[in-house]
Structure 1
């Protein structure tokens, strides 16, 4: 599966508000789950049809409708009619490859963002598109796959935590976005631990395996940054926008999200710089080792140049080489060669070439 969005040829020229599922089918059957609550009551249910939602629309309670799976266009069309949404709202929901964004409509606010989790099987980063439609009494969330990432929020509702049970759909929206951003920080921290461990291995044993790991981690970080940067822009826009669906007290919490998403963005940038530094350290270490090898080979060659010269003279075939007939010529030649080699080594040492 491609990790970066690709434009399909059949999408070119189609109306932007046409209901077309632009994504990958990740679940066989679309699941609809309802949580309805206020400060004193709570009910949870799985529903089969969109018609069952109508009874919650006029209530004063908070209703959270979570939809797992986006490929059933009939259900999406029924939701549009049931809540009288603009046709563009559901078209945006079905475009899972779009950038995170926030759009304020007459009767709702649409928020889209990417969720990140680590695949427990191979450790790779999984990304899923999350869409939230905020209305006065109903919050509708759309997930590509069934998961338990929002289970902590459900537990807070079940355990009658006052803030979330007394809050409205806007505070519930904050709670879900907070889970998404916290997962950003968690995923980055897991990758950061690997990066820091890699730095120790790099100094002890720099080899090709280390450089492959550095490149893999850089790819993962680039992928993370590609999703966090637009999410950061969206959250900053959310904290600044004026909407009748968001109370003043909830804006304070949205500003908290700004700090968390900024921390996630800064952390990803920091680890990316660390990996670049590690790459430079690797190349510097390899260059240093290569220089040491070249230094040894150079010294070895230079020492043997005069020795080869001496051996060459006395290996000639001329008859008139007076020293050849001297009794101790062989030993003298060895003595001169060793003296020359030893003297050169001492000279290199004093020059700090060794």
Structure 2
């Protein structure tokens, strides 16, 4: 657990948790805690039992806002895209009059990214901290969306150039990730709409309007992943079309080869019959002439097919 006094974006480390129970003269307290720290924090700050239970559960949490008497409890999902797999990690936030508590089960990059923003904006209020933190969390969805778009473009190029069976597995896997993520974005968008429109006494009215901009970004992200879902459908059609074209190409080659060998097979069939009176049968160079003729026929038909672009 890390305890910091934040004033004008400057961090001062606090060693004693009891010092955070009263409001500081300037600034606010930011307590960055782990799940195990809730045993200490719950009785000190009067954290609601249901909120603590939500933090402790290992099941995926739905983004939400719970309003209690002296504090708000928020759950928002941070996003990561590692090894072609999307992860959502719950960021639990307790917002009080003079403090903000973040509780996480895993490390979340946004908590590090927000520090220089707080210093640059000279933040001294917990609601302002909340705004910048949520803004960074939502902005990271755009970064993940860009990586997914790049992956779709790369996959499309690979399919058009060299279709493989593994491409279908990638398409199905990526499409499932996108559908799952789009489903998870719905509650988060509702949370941001609530922060924008609902009268919340712990959030300044002027600052509350800025949450409207974050909500618009969330809507754009939702529309972006809706587009990606359609693109994955088109990609699957391109894969199937590419397989069909490849099969047609193979069949065309086989058909051409079969056609080339048809006259050769006819000639060998005629001269393979048990008759004495076949032209050239007893000629000394008959076999050489026959093989040469068969070679000329095969080569001639091959170049004819190439000229007509059949091969």
Q: TM-score range by the shorter chain?
A: 0.7 to 0.9
CA offset digits 1:177-206 (Å, max 9, x no partner): 001111111222233333333433443333
CA-atom RMSD, angstroms?
Answer: 3.8
Establish whether residue 136 from structure 1 lines up as the match of residue 97 from structure 2.
yes
Q: What is the CA–CA distance in structure 2 between the aligned matches of 1:197 and 1:180, rounded to whole Å?
A: 26
Alignment check: 8 A CA contact 1:116 1:184 kept: yes
Change (3 A) 1:198 1:43: closer
Distance 1:343 1:94, change over 3 A: closer
- 1:151 shift after superposition: 3.5
Partner residue of 2:39? 74
1:63 to 16, 21, 28: 28
Q: Which residue of structure 2 lines up, in the alignment, with residue 35 of structure 1? A: 5
2:65 match: 102
Q: Distance in 1 between matches of 2:63 and 2:281?
A: 94
SS at 1:149 equivalent: helix
- Show the counterpart of 2:20: 53
Q: In the aligned structure 2, how far is the partner of 1:140 from the partner of 1:133?
A: 5
Distance 1:70 1:280 in 2: 46
User: CA shift at 1:70, angstroms?
Assistant: 0.3
Moved more, 336-345 or 246-255: 336-345
- Deviation, 1:341, is 9.9
* Cα gap change, 1:67 to 1:185, in 2 (>3 Å): same
The residue number in structure 2 matching 1:179 is 136
CA contact (8 A) 1:132 1:141 kept: yes
SS of residue in 1 equivalent to 2:19? helix
CA distance in 2, matches of 1:43, 1:326: 106
Q: How does 1:211-222 map to 2 (within 5 A)?
A: 213-214=170-171, 217-218=174-175, 220-222=177-179
Report the TM-score, using the length of structure 2 for normalisation.
Answer: 0.78
Say yes or no: does 1:93 pair with 2:55.
yes
Checking the alignment, whether the CA contact within 8 Å between 1:68 and 1:146 is kept in structure 2 is: no
1:84 matched to 2:46? yes
1:257, distance to aligned residue in structure 2 (A): 0.8
Secondary structure of the residue aligned to 1:237 is: helix
Tell me if structure 2 keeps the 8 A contact 1:69–1:146. no
* Cα distance in 1 for residues equivalent to 2:263 and 2:281: 23
Secondary structure, counterpart of 1:246 in structure 2: coil
* Structure 1 residues 347 and 217: CA distance shift in structure 2, 3 A: closer
Task: Report deviation, 1:141.
Answer: 1.7
Please tell me whether residue 311 in structure 1 is matched to residue 268 in structure 2: yes
Q: For residues 120-161 of structure 1, what are the alpha-carbon distances to aligned partners after superposition, in whole Å with 9 as ceiling and x for unaligned? A: xx57544321011223332222122355523343334334x3
Tell me, in whole angstroms, the C-alpha distance in 2 between the residues paired with 1:337 and 1:145.
72
Instruction: Return closer, same or farther for 1:53/1:347 CA change in 2, 3 Å cut-off.
Output: closer
Any stretches of 5+ residues in structure 2 without a counterpart?
Answer: none
Q: Distance in 1 between matches of 2:21 and 2:79?
A: 32
Tell me the residue number matched to 1:233: 190
From the superposition, tell whether residues 336 and 196 of structure 1 become closer, same or farther in structure 2 (CA, over 3 Å): closer
Partner of 1:13: none
Cα distance change on mapping 1:64 and 1:126 into 2, 3 Å: farther
Give aligned pairs, total.
308
- Map of 2:114 onto structure 1: 153
TM-score between both structures, scaled by the size of structure 1: 0.70
SS of 1:136's partner is: coil
Is 213-222 or 263-272 further displaced after alignment? 213-222
Q: Which runs of 5+ in 1 are unaligned?
A: 1-30
1:201–1:337 CA distance, 2 compared to 1 (3 A): closer
Residues in 2 aligned to 1:195 and 1:340: alpha-carbon distance in whole angstroms: 45
* Displacement of 1:334: 8.2
Task: Indicate conservation of the 8 Å contact 1:68/1:145, yes or no.
Answer: no
Which range moves more in the overlay, 334-343 or 137-146?
334-343
